[in-house]
Amino acid sequence: MQFSKYLEFPETDFRQHYRGTTNGSLMHGKGMLVLRGGKIYPGTFVKNVISEYESDLAIEEKHWALQKEMKKMQEMQLLAQMK
C-alpha cells in the first residue's frame, strides 16, 4: 500500500529528505529527493531507485563519502598538531 510521506535521513546519509509516496519505508512512486548539498531529484521512484538519475545519485553518494573521509582526516591532522 502506498502513502504520501516525508522521510528524513540521518546526518550520516548523503540524502537529506524525501517527500512523496512510499511503500513502507521505501521511496516508491512519485516524489522528490533532496540531498544534503541542496540538489533536488524529482521523479518516480521504484524501491528507492529513480532510474533517470541512478548514476548521478551514485556519484553524489561517493562524493559525500569522500568529503566525510577528508573532513575526518583533517580533524585527525589538527589533533596531531595539537600534541
Residues 52-74 pLDDT 10s: 999 999 999 999 999 999 999 99
**pLDDT of 3:** 60
Which residues span the domain enclosing 72? 2-82
pTM for the whole thing? 0.78
CA distance 15 to 34: 6
CA distance 8 to 67: 21
Mind listing the pLDDT tens digit for each residue in 3-44?
A: 689 999 999 899 999 999 999 889 999 999 999 989 999 999
68 Cβ neighbours under 8 A, 6+ residues apart? 12
For residues 13-24, b (16+ Cβ closer than 10 Å) or e, as one string? ebbbebbbbbee
DSSP letter, residue 68: H
How many structural domains compose the chain?
Answer: 1
Q: Give me 44's grid cell.
A: 518516480
